[in-house]
A = this chain, B = another copy of it.
Amino acid sequence: MSASAKPVIVLVRPQLGQNIGKAARAMLNFGLTEMRLVAPRDGWPNPDAGPSASGADAVLEQAQVFATVQDAVADCSFVYASTVRRRDLVMPVIGPQEMGSQIARSSARSAILFGPERSGLETEDVALSTAIVTVPINPEFGSLNLAQAVILLAYEWSKLSELAQPPAKELEAPAPHREMDGLIAQLDEELVAKGYFHPPSRTQATRNTIRTIFTKTGWSSREVKAVRGIIRALVGPPRNRDGV
């Protein structure tokens, strides 16, 4: 994925330096590095930002400052406004996943706007945008803070980027069938020796149950071997290791 496809994170009139730092950390966790600040309340640089960035200092150092939102998104083809739905504007409202996929599909530059901590984006800021992006949250509680909003949208973007190679489901494949068969045969032999199968009319049904129970485990070759060792230990005589 080319660098230009990574969305730019635009913090519009952010208030606390601490929150700018947290947003930088959230970005870098998902591989985003380009932060733009529009008219930060306390100027820039802000000494409170660094300590909250937990090592994402490079993001802060490269942050660019703009006087207006318009300037900040001048080179961006798509602009997403992170906010709740607005009654005052008629424009598309999408979820984080749809935003992530739109950004990933395009090679053009995108920006995501986040408003000031207390008041959120103004109508004028939202009106500049291609779409509103809203994280669906608990309507009875619902209070995402700035860093939380940034991390959720950065995360959704990252899922479609190369970062998000799904982890291998299993570190070890299930054992070949014959190995599980060997385990079941061993167990069966021991159970016969113990007189476990009774009455005879139920023996086949019990054997089927045992087969299902062990087949569904998905045990690897290593695990099948371990369980075979456990069965041997259970039926064998106690070993006095201390004495030897």
Contact = CB atoms under 8 A, between A and B. Distances in A.
Interface of A: 25-26, 28-31, 54-56, 85, 90-95, 97-98, 134-138, 141-145, 148, 151-152, 155, 158-159, 162-172, 187, 190-191, 193-196, 198-199, 209-210, 213, 216-220, 222-223, 226-227, 230-231, 233-241
A234 B195 CA distance: 10
B29 A171 contact: no
Contacts of A169: 92-94
Nearest to A212: B223
Nearest to A236: B194
30 contacts: A29-B141, A54-B143, A55-B141, A85-B167, A90-B171, A90-B172, A93-B169, A94-B169, A95-B167, A98-B166, A134-B167, A136-B158, A136-B162, A136-B164, A136-B165, A137-B163, A148-B151, A151-B152, A187-B230, A191-B234, A194-B233, A194-B237, A194-B239, A195-B241, A196-B239, A198-B239, A210-B230, A216-B219, A234-B235, A235-B235
B209 A226 contact: yes
Nearest to A190: B234
Contacts of A217: 213, 216-218
B141 A56 contact: yes
A85 B166 CA distance: 13
Given A54-B143, A94-B167, A163-B137, A29 B148 contact: yes
Nearest to A187: B230
A223 B235 CA distance: 21
A135 B220 CA distance: 25
Contacts of A234: 190-191, 194, 231, 234-235
Given A29-B138, A93-B171, A137-B163, 12 more contacts: A29-B148, A92-B169, A93-B169, A94-B169, A98-B166, A136-B163, A136-B165, A155-B155, A195-B239, A196-B239, A198-B241, A216-B219
A57 to B, nearest CB: 11
Given A172-B90, A222-B90, A195 B238 contact: yes
Contacts of A170: 92
B195 A91 contact: no
Contacts of A191: 230, 233-234
